[in-house]
Structure 1
């Protein structure tokens, strides 16, 4: 069932943001609100001319742009090129699959989310926020490109459909899991270094 992975991840983020995150965390309230609104909007779509658009895609784009709008011009230029890379990579994968589906041996959701995760990590190895923004903006612009391209052959394609939301959910889950694991390892390393330093001071 398309969208079930997205709902699972969105509810998980809402629960963590609402009940587990520190109340002083600046991302606690936005994460809870956005995840809840995405859950509400994920079944809604509307048409602009001949294009069908999932309502949740607008909220995702807004959240991504909101995270990066205060960046420097240099960061914005780099983001632009990053978005272009992700957009053409995303659209190219779909068109290759459409032309010759035989080469796609694994579930396309896993392949797409894995590709988005790796490209996002390569482009932004040090910033989770920019990594998220680049993946969301790039993939959704890829959806728009696909919709425009396929419309020439009268092939229906919904921008930001539930299938896209599943890919988005898998990608975000991977990004957050690796980020959390990195923070845990860093905290454990600092704690271990502190204990070693304390023992050395006791010896001296």
Structure 2
């Protein structure tokens, strides 16, 4: 069922933001963003020849706003890394289309791992990786739609397969950051040899 990873990811984000985070403005923005993404995923917007879910435009615009407001890294580098991830996304989708023999596992999962690796090569901080993933993924989907426009003129930009791959990638980045944080906490609490615990 297409869209199950997308809905599961954003419902999980909404539950964590609503019930487990401290009452701050960031928590309210995150919960509202998750609900807006869930409710707008089934609404299709048509601008000229471009057809896309409303959630696709919301994701791209909110990512641009967050990149300008928060600046997790320098904006020129974020723009370059997002462009690199966009071309990596489009290249993988075109490879899966024209030479599917290379896709020996589930295509969405392979694409998600590919995006995680590319975003991890460009950035070290989680916020920068997530922004690079969102911006680059949206741009890559647009590049892919342009590349196959003649073969599939009715292609819907930002389908549920795109959102599923993006949700899996974001989940992998969050899980990796959680594992890294826990390992650092355990490393700090581990006693040093030759010292006695009080």
User: By the TM > 0.5 criterion, same fold?
Assistant: yes
Q: Please, what TM-score do these two structures have when normalized by structure 1?
A: 0.88
1:92 is aligned to 91
Partner-residue secondary structure (3-state), 2:46: strand
CA contact (8 A) 1:61 1:137 kept: yes
How much does 1:27 deviate? 3.2
Distance in 1 between residues matched to 2:189 and 2:57, nearest whole Å: 42
How much does 1:139 deviate? 1.0
Q: Please, what TM-score do these two structures have when normalized by structure 2?
A: 0.90
1:135 is aligned to 133
Counterpart of 2:157 (choices 156, 159, 164) is 159
How much does 1:166 deviate? 0.5
Partner-residue secondary structure (3-state), 1:151: coil
Distance in 1 between residues matched to 2:117 and 2:75, nearest whole Å: 21
From the superposition, tell whether residues 6 and 71 of structure 1 become closer, same or farther in structure 2 (CA, over 3 Å): closer
2:19 is aligned to 19
Distance in 2 between residues matched to 1:191 and 1:23, nearest whole Å: 29
- Aligned residue-pair number: 196
Deviation digits for residues 33-79 of structure 1, max 9, x if unmatched?
A: 1111111011111111111111101121122222220467x811111
Name the one with the larger helix percent.
Answer: 1
* Rg comparison, structure with higher value: 1
For structure 2, the 5+ residue unaligned runs are none
Matched, 1:174 2:172: yes
How much does 1:201 deviate? 8.1
1:120 is aligned to 119
Distance in 2 between residues matched to 1:27 and 1:109, nearest whole Å: 30
> Structure 2 matches for 1:34-73, cutoff 5 A?
34-70=33-69
Distance in 2 between residues matched to 1:10 and 1:102, nearest whole Å: 32
Deviation digits for residues 8-37 of structure 1, max 9, x if unmatched?
A: 11111111111012224x532222111111
Counterpart of 2:189 (choices 165, 188, 191) is 191
